[in-house]
Chain A
Amino acid sequence: MSEKEMNTTSTPDSDGFRRSGTTKPVETAEQKARRAQVQANASEAQRIENARQKDRELKNEQSASTASEGQSAPAEVRMPRYDPKDPYKFPAQMPSSADSMIRSFDPADFPQPKAKDNEWRYLDMDEISEFMQPFTPTNLAQVSVSFEDGSAVPQLSDKQTSRELGVSFGQISKNEYPAGSVSKPVDLTAAIQWQVTQRVYWLNITSNVEKPVIIRVHSNNAERDALHFVITAAANSHASVVVMHDGLAHLAEGMEISTGADSTLNFTSVQQWDEASKHVGTERIRVGANAELRHRVVTLSGNFVRLRMDPDYAGKKGFLDMLGIYYVLPGDYAEHRTMVCHNQADCKSRVIYKGALDGKGARSAWVGNALILPTAPNTDSYELNRNLVLKPGAIADSEPQLEIENGDIIGAGHASSVGRFEDEQLFYLESRGVSEENARKLVVRGFFEELINQIGVESVQTALMQRIEERLAKGESAAMTQVLEDK
């Protein structure tokens, strides 16, 4: 790590310049700088030591808990065969996350979060603590809906047009179906969000919806607010839904998505918040039998964005295709958790999350889980996370997890990488006559284009690509200097 990159904060000289006569010699600028450097080194060393201490404590805790469970290694390994009549005939030797997971609408059921918990270990607890206590939402976030071409989406009460267009949207009460119908909150923030939410919106898809539906969430207020959305797609329906978020907000958002048998739903959520915004979102997702859910997440800005998705299946042969794109600016934090639960036979899941981090102070985390229960033979799951560090100094955490409790599966693939902007790729393009600048452009734009083109709603794709282009163009000359300096 170069000296430049270290956090050198020069402390103000407390002695200052003494005008009145004094025997103490005045410090030269060089001595002052040296003293500041020594102090910075000391505080850096202290920080590293603190982190190591935390790590040691965490390890001690973990080994203490496994010791207390009293499990001794089995004498021989028996490979049980799946028995469709009794999937739980051979229980797993180790508990899975499903065994210890708490799911409840009541925040009191969740233990007090600690920074070392797996759930919260990547983020800064200070940033999320406001969402872990009950609050009164401002209800100022504006929610509007329309089709992609601007025409109106019928109200829930308008039965006639709803039937014609295959979709309707409106506000419902928390006690009404389908609110709260897709399983239960998985963590404290989700439970709190449910408890405090006063506005619940339902997008009811009943048959084929020809035009994409765009739901816009816009806010101009940094006071905490809460929203809840329920999206249901009836059996055999086909629809495309985009939820766009922008403005200034501290938003706790719940999303429930449930798709019926043989349906196809294309769902995209876009986060383009103002710089000081916070967004803590949890999604509970259920994919119907033989249904296809294409779920896309695009996170482009916002000081603190944490999205946790918990999908499972309602029947056999469901297909979940998840794609995530994040582009994190310096000072921002983006966390995405894709916790797929395979609870039905013959289902397929693909989770591909790719992100770019734009320099020092940009942080991201991705945690992916594929939990394959004993009831899910013939599962085909795959998860991948790829991080591209555009400029040095960013931190990307990537944690693929697999919990396989059924051996009769097609596959459970996983891959994860964090990489510097590839010098070899740049050289390759340059050796073919492409200038440095254009080579970088090609590679980074290619990275994003490949992903954005999979969203499936053209106006959104164009708008997002344009936003990314602007951002890349802005950062480019500064980036080149940095890259050249580092070499």
Chain B
Amino acid sequence: MAEVATNVSEQHTLEIRGLRAGVQTKEGRKEILKGVDLTIHTGEVHAIMGPNGSGKSTLAYTLAGHPKYEVDGGEVLLDGQDLLKMKPYERARAGLFLAMQYPVEVPGVSMTNFLRTAVTEVQGSAPSLRQWVEELSTEMKRLRMDPKFAQRSVNEGFSGGEKKRAEVLQMELLKPKFTIMDETDSGLDVDALRIVSEGVNHAKDVNHFGVMLITHYTRILRYIHPDFVHVFADGHFVRAGGPELADELEESGYDQYLPEGVSESAQA
């Protein structure tokens, strides 16, 4: 049962340059991303931390191509290809994966059916049924997921922890080049957090992808070690540093990075 490692010696780059995006609200157009710059290489873990309402999730969804967010300017280049010109499924096929904070339920579509379709569409060819069943059950076991979940409808009735594990399962199977994880740690208890983190680390070791880990708390960083830590506030990056920056944030909080007169509790 040899694990197929992909992208072993491949190096990829995800470059975000001057990304600006906004959304339509009842009160009119609201600008959320105000010039985001970031570069991630294969194998790197970048932790994106910041106060609530800073636009971290917006960044994640804009990269994935959610129709709600309108891009005003900038580029997102994956190995030189501009993702912003692509539809969500094209971006996924180019190698981008978004592990969502609140995965939606899709009743009537079984997990195994959905996953097999996704893998087929991303890889370009369908895995043989036997190979598929084996791979699926191995990965589910690794994440301590009950095998019965394969037959259940996508995310239907899943608890928060189960949904997050399902997201990591998809990541394992789709083997992206870059993974964005949107507050994966929210709502997870200690054991679930450890299992999910192990899954991410394992996938990273086997498939060598770059990780953009969006989080509000430092807890997950004890399990998934970041190479770089960035502070995101008011729609753009305000500070970058190594892993020790996370400890500093733990101590001092985000207030110093907010616009004058605003505290995090007011923004939330």
- What residues of chain A have their CB less than 8 Å away from a CB belonging to chain B? 422-425, 427-436, 438-439, 442-443, 445-450, 487
Contacts and interface: CB of A to CB of B under 8 A. Distances in A.
A445 B87 CA distance: 23
Interface in B118-134: 118, 121-122
13 contacts: A429-B106, A429-B118, A430-B92, A431-B66, A432-B92, A432-B121, A434-B89, A434-B118, A436-B89, A439-B89, A442-B106, A442-B109, A446-B113
B190 interface: no
B89 A446 contact: no
A429 to B, nearest CB: 7
B89 A431 contact: yes
Contacts of A429: 106, 109, 114, 118
Contact of B98 (A431, A442, A448, A450): A431
A427 B92 CA distance: 11
Nearest to A435: B89
Contact of B174 (A423, A433, A442): A433
Contacts of B106: 425, 428-429, 442-443, 446
A443 B156 CA distance: 13
Contacts of B88: 427, 430-431
Contact of B107 (A433, A434, A438, A450): A450
Nearest to B117: A434
Given A430-B92, A435-B121, A422 B104 contact: yes
A442 B108 CA distance: 8
Given A434-B118, A435-B121, A424 B104 contact: yes
Given A427-B66, A428-B100, A446 B107 contact: yes
Nearest to B105: A425
Contact of B118 (A433, A445, A446, A450): A433
B108 A447 contact: yes
A265 B104 CA distance: 37
Contacts of B89: 430-436, 439
Contacts of A425: 104-106
Given A425-B106, A442-B114, A430 B98 contact: no
A435 B93 CA distance: 10
Interface of B: 64-67, 87-89, 91-93, 97-98, 100, 103-110, 113-114, 117-118, 121-122, 153-154, 170, 174
Contacts of A432: 89, 92, 97, 114, 118, 121-122, 170, 174
A432 B113 CA distance: 13
Contacts of B109: 429, 442-443, 446
Given A427-B88, A431-B65, A433-B122, A443 B103 contact: no
Contacts of A443: 106, 108-109
A487 B66 CA distance: 13
Given A432-B114, A442-B114, A446-B110, 10 more contacts: A428-B104, A429-B114, A430-B65, A433-B89, A433-B93, A433-B121, A433-B122, A435-B89, A448-B108, A450-B108
A343 to B, nearest CB: 33
Contacts of B103: 428
A487 B104 contact: no
Nearest to B124: A433
B141 to A, nearest CB: 21
A446 B64 contact: no
B95 to A, nearest CB: 10
Nearest to A427: B66
Most chain B CB within 10 A, of A423, A427, A435, is at A427
B104 A438 contact: no
Contacts of B105: 425
B67 A487 contact: yes
Contacts of A422: 104
Question: Can you list the 9 inter-chain pairs with the closest CB atoms, starting with the nearest?
Answer: A446-B108, A433-B92, A433-B122, A446-B109, A430-B88, A432-B118, A450-B108, A433-B121, A430-B89
A446 B153 contact: yes
Most chain B CB within 10 A, of A425, A429, A448, is at A429
Contacts of B153: 446, 450
A423 B61 CA distance: 14
Nearest to B91: A431
A442 to B, nearest CB: 5
Contacts of B98: 431
Contacts of B65: 430-431
Nearest to A445: B108
B117 A442 contact: yes
Contacts of A430: 65, 87-89, 92
A435 B89 CA distance: 6
B67 A427 contact: yes
A243 B104 CA distance: 38
B179 to A, nearest CB: 12
Contact of B121 (A428, A438, A447): A438
A435 B86 CA distance: 12
Given A430-B87, A432-B170, A438-B121, A447 B114 contact: no
A430 B121 CA distance: 10
A431 B239 CA distance: 29
A218 to B, nearest CB: 31
A429 B121 CA distance: 11
